[in-house]
């Protein structure tokens, strides 16, 4: 078959909706039929995972949550297990700021549904009640494929990591097809491998407060770039914006930051870290980044100040020179 295939020039480009977002796949420099087959596989993978990993639609994760709530031990779904392990590990490394088992809190705020979220914010008493129950990954025993919770308030919501995890599996799939040069972009969060011809992949970081691009980054051979922003899902009520990233310590949307961009090799880590550092905010992000092994961070706070570590600063090219940049110590 290889003999009859043509080089894809310039690239295969495929878009589809999955995991609640537009997925955009670009493959460069592979035979057209190989790229075509790989793209079909990726689309299938993402479509299937949407149901499996959705906490609030019938599927594997929902069933898992129901069994966890019984506090009885049960065999974990073997496909879901590695994702749960990844989420639990990243949660521990983030001191619980990335907390994948605050599903009840996410649902109370209404950010679980695929519908546009709407106010008013929930009753403070109900938030405090969930905080008191304090669900954490430390409540979950995961041994020999068996899962058990000792806290009835534990509910997985993998919205902060599943996209990254899916992107990692997608890149593995591409590589298994022999594809070396590609970008798999899920709603602006992406992992890139190889190059775009004889130049590196170059991507834009969205401006959290404008329509355009804030900065550009050239990517190395295999890197993921993930951004968490307060503009992704939110509602406004009485002049206050309530968005979808919850500070698990207080039960309210984390309110010190407008966006956090993280570069890391694997997408699952980058995804969870972007969420964790968003919660950590300007005071704590360096500590959490170090714990999670993150080497490139750009955080924009509510005053528009851009916080970066020096290695990140070396890599970003701003469209317009930012007014206020605060460089941290090296990570």
93 touches Mg ion by CB under 5 A = no
Binding mask 239-278 for Mg ion (x = CB under 5 A): --------------------------------x--xx---
168 touches ligand ADP by CB under 6 A = no
18 touches ligand ADP by CB under 6 A = no
Rank residues 160 and 281 by Cβ distance to ligand ADP and give the closer one. Answer: 160
Among 275, 296, 297, 301, binds ligand ADP (CB under 6 A): 275
Rank residues 29 and 281 by Cβ distance to ligand ADP and give the closer one. Answer: 281
Within residues 213-252, the interface with ligand ADP by CB under 6 A covers: 228-229, 232-233, 244-246, 248
Rank residues 180 and 232 by Cβ distance to ligand ADP and give the closer one. Answer: 232
113-126 as b/e: b if 16+ CB within 10 A: eeeeeeeebbeeee
CA 168 – CA 185 distance, rounded (Å) = 11
Q: What is the CA radius of gyration of the chain?
A: 20
CA 26 – CA 194 distance, rounded (Å) = 12
270 touches ligand ADP by CB under 6 A = no
With beta carbons less than 8 A apart as the criterion, state whether 256 and 305 touch.
no
Rank residues 233 and 295 by Cβ distance to ligand ADP and give the closer one. Answer: 233
Shortest distance (Å) from residue 271 CB to Mg ion: 4
69-98 as b/e: b if 16+ CB within 10 A: eeeeeeebbeebeebbebbbebbebbbbbb
Shortest distance (Å) from residue 123 CB to Mg ion: 27
**What token pair was written down for 19?**
């995991």
Residue 14 binds what, of ligand ADP, Mg ion, none (CB under 5 to 8 Å, by partner type)?
none
CA 60 – CA 10 distance, rounded (Å) = 39
Stretch that binds ligand ADP, among 29-37, 152-160, 217-225, 310-318 (CB under 6 A): 152-160
CA 107 – CA 251 distance, rounded (Å) = 12
Q: Is 262 helix (H, G, I), strand (E, B) or coil?
A: strand
**What token pair was written down for 59?**
């599927």
CA 235 – CA 118 distance, rounded (Å) = 5
Shortest distance (Å) from residue 108 CB to ligand ADP: 12
CA 68 – CA 151 distance, rounded (Å) = 9
Rank residues 181 and 228 by Cβ distance to ligand ADP and give the closer one. Answer: 228
65 touches Mg ion by CB under 5 A = no
Q: Is 19 helix (H, G, I), strand (E, B) or coil?
A: coil
User: What residues line the site for ligand ADP (CB under 6 A)?
Assistant: 98-100, 106, 111, 157, 159-160, 163, 189, 228-229, 232-233, 244-246, 248, 271, 274-275, 279
User: What residues line the site for Mg ion (CB under 5 A)?
Assistant: 160, 271, 274-275
């Amino acid at each position: 078959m290889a003999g009859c295939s043509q080089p894809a020039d310039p690239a295969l480009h495929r878009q589809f909706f999955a995991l609640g977002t537009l997925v955009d796949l670009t493959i460069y420099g592979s035979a057209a039929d190989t790229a075509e087959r790989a793209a079909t596989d990726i689309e299938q993978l993402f479509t299937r995972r949407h149901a499996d990993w959705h906490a609030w639609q019938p599927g594997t994760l929902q069933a898992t949550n129901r069994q966890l709530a019984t506090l009885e031990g049960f065999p974990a779904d073997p496909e879901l297990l590695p994702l749960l392990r990844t989420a639990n590990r990243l949660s521990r490394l983030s001191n619980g700021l990335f907390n994948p088992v605050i599903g009840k809190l996410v649902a109370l705020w209404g950010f679980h549904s695929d519908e546009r979220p709407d106010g008013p914010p929930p009753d403070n008493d109900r938030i405090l009640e969930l905080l008191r129950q304090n669900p954490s990954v430390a409540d979950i025993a995961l041994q020999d494929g068996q899962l058990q919770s000792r806290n009835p308030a534990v509910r997985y919501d993998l919205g902060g990591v599943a996209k990254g995890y899916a992107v990692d599996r997608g890149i593995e799939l591409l590589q298994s097809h022999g594809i070396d040069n590609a970008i798999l972009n899920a709603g602006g969060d992406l992992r890139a491998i190889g190059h775009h011809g004889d130049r590196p992949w170059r991507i834009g970081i969205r401006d959290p407060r404008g329509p355009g691009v804030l900065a550009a980054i050239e990517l190395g051979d295999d890197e993921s770039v993930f951004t968490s922003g307060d503009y992704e899902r939110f509602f406004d009520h009485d002049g206050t914006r309530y968005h979808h990233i919850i500070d698990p310590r207080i039960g309210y949307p984390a309110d010190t930051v407008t966006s956090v961009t993280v570069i890391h090799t694997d997408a699952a880590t980058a995804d969870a870290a972007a969420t964790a550092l968003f919660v950590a905010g300007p005071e704590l992000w360096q500590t959490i980044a170090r714990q999670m092994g993150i080497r490139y961070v750009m955080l924009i706070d509510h005053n528009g100040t851009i916080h970066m570590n020096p290695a990140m600063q070396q890599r970003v090219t701003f469209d317009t020179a930012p007014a206020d940049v605060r460089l941290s110590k090296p990570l």
